[in-house]
Homo-oligomer: A and B are copies of this chain.
Amino acid sequence: MSQRQLSLNAFIPSTGHHVAAWRHPDAQADGGHSFRHYAQIAQTAEAARFDAVFLADSAAVWGGSGEDGLTSLARSARAAHFEPITLLSALSAVTEHIGLIATVTTTYNEPYHLARKFASLDWLSNGRAGWNLVTSANQHEAQNFGLAQHVQHADRYDRAEEFIDVVKGLWDSWEDNAFLRDKQSGVFFDEHKLHTLHHRGKHFSVKGPLNVARPPQGYPVLVQAGSSEPGKELAARTAEVIFTAQQTLADAQAFYRDVKGRLAKYGRIPDTLKILPGIFPVVGRTEAEARDKFQALQDLIDPVVGLSLLSGMLGGFDLSGYPLDGPLPDLPASNGGKSRQALLIDKARRENLTIRQLYLSIAGARGHWQIVGSAVQIADQIQQWFESGAADGFNVMPPTLPGGLDDFTSLVVPILQERGLFRTEYRGNTLREHLGLQRPHNHHVPQSTAAAA
């Protein structure tokens, strides 16, 4: 298996990615608070040899916007669920190989707490932790942390740049071989291998050192999801995996070239950053079966929920005053996630969609790449993107959970494996090893020493 291999992560919001998934007859509607449900999902993904499970996050209820916000929220399943770091810590105890990626914002957290929890998760899981750095797209978070308004987009990225450097500095507090634990001499660690950070910057003053040993992976895998200009630049400097929303092969290829092309100026080679677009696969044994499955979900979308979802994805713009069957109005610039908003407006104009048609078009994939088809059709498309410079793998976003993941792992994965595109056994133990990423050296240790150790 010397051929280049796909990476596959499972994106696992409680009842599935489709906005009406919880209403599906097979859905476990209470999945957001059921550990048994999540253990089953993680074990399914592990049995299929996925690289990781991946949890989105927001430090606030994802409220709808406008007058109907509460009503639409009450008709969707996203208001309440497990917190990701606690959930992944528990999942670490019932899995052995699969990576565990949690989203945490840098905008409303402290780097010491974050560095510590991810280091601890990496130790609990023997090297399977990943951190998806976001700067918060949910406008409601600010008010849970003492601010009247969401921090401006540019300021969020400025803080994120410093935040990640502090976190990496804290993870390097201890050299890998600092702990001697020599019972005879009484020396627990070599004091020359402990490094105090003494960081003083624009946003943070953090003395350190971290009170967790250097993580088994050196650093947990660094994931990012921003596709704005500062988001791409931060990723080019620091990320090892990018989770991105791309709807067409051409767009995905352009994004791939763009981001990989930015690496050289930071002294990085292209293979040190893996680009994984989201894919929303509705899998059937035939294309017709897949279309029926998809239509059954679309029929369950409450218009109030669809409209609110669209408003939210347009940066909180209130669409409730506009006719559902009229065109999308002109929108002001937003402080939310910029890239997603631009993609949506572009789509509405290009395809001449009404507001209703637009929300129906996104209610499944929510801005990600949607394929409704047979397992072979989906495998073909995945292979095409993978082999034509559009992706190093995918974040698989099952329409329903556990059913949509079962469909993908039982029908699509075997085809990818037969074609030699995806592993049939794990060849390593850590998330880094699954992704083909090197273990970073400790910046306090000269590289020649590190290599010799």
Interface residues, chain A, with chain B CB atoms under 8 Å away: 22-25, 27, 29-30, 33, 35, 39, 58-62, 70-71, 73-77, 79-83, 85-87, 89-94, 108-110, 112-113, 116-117, 119-121, 123-124, 140, 143-147, 174, 179, 181, 183, 186-191, 194, 204-213, 300, 302, 305
Complex: chain B residue closest to A62, CB-CB: B211
Alpha-carbon distance A381/B198, docked complex (angstroms): 48
Cβ A117 vs Cβ B206 within 8 A:
no
Alpha-carbon distance A190/B71, docked complex (angstroms): 9
Complex: chain B residue closest to A30, CB-CB: B181
Alpha-carbon distance A424/B103, docked complex (angstroms): 43
Q: Which single member of B25, B59, B120, B124 contacts A113 (CB below 8 Å)?
A: B59
Cβ A213 vs Cβ B33 within 8 A:
yes
Cβ B77 vs Cβ A207 within 8 A:
no
Copies of this chain in its oligomeric complex:
2
Cβ B123 vs Cβ A207 within 8 A:
no
Cβ A143 vs Cβ B205 within 8 A:
yes
Q: Which single member of B83, B93, B124, B186 contacts A75 (CB below 8 Å)?
A: B186
Cβ A61 vs Cβ B209 within 8 A:
yes
- Minimum CB–CB distance from A97 to chain B (whole Å) comes to 15
Cβ A212 vs Cβ B82 within 8 A:
yes
Complex: chain B residue closest to A123, CB-CB: B33
Q: Which residues of B contact A305 (CB under 8 A)?
A: 186
- Minimum CB–CB distance from A401 to chain B (whole Å) comes to 15
Given A93-B35, A205-B146, CB of A117 within 8 Å of CB of B86:
yes
Cβ A82 vs Cβ B112 within 8 A:
no
Cβ A188 vs Cβ B75 within 8 A:
yes
- Minimum CB–CB distance from A452 to chain B (whole Å) comes to 24
Cβ B117 vs Cβ A83 within 8 A:
yes
Q: Which residues of B contact A190 (CB under 8 A)?
A: 74
Alpha-carbon distance A110/B143, docked complex (angstroms): 12
Alpha-carbon distance A211/B84, docked complex (angstroms): 12
Alpha-carbon distance A27/B302, docked complex (angstroms): 60
Complex: chain B residue closest to A126, CB-CB: B35
Given contact pairs A75-B188, A109-B113, enumerate 14 new A-B contacts (beta carbons under 8 Å): A59-B211, A74-B187, A74-B189, A76-B188, A80-B174, A80-B212, A82-B212, A85-B85, A85-B86, A86-B120, A89-B89, A89-B90, A90-B93, A143-B206
Given A112-B144, A181-B22, CB of A90 within 8 Å of CB of B191:
no
Complex: chain B residue closest to A205, CB-CB: B146
Q: Which residues of B contact A35 (CB under 8 A)?
A: 92-93, 123-124
Given A191-B71, A191-B74, CB of A87 within 8 Å of CB of B86:
no
Alpha-carbon distance A233/B81, docked complex (angstroms): 34
Given A86-B85, A90-B90, CB of A79 within 8 Å of CB of B211:
yes
- Minimum CB–CB distance from A46 to chain B (whole Å) comes to 14
Cβ B83 vs Cβ A120 within 8 A:
yes
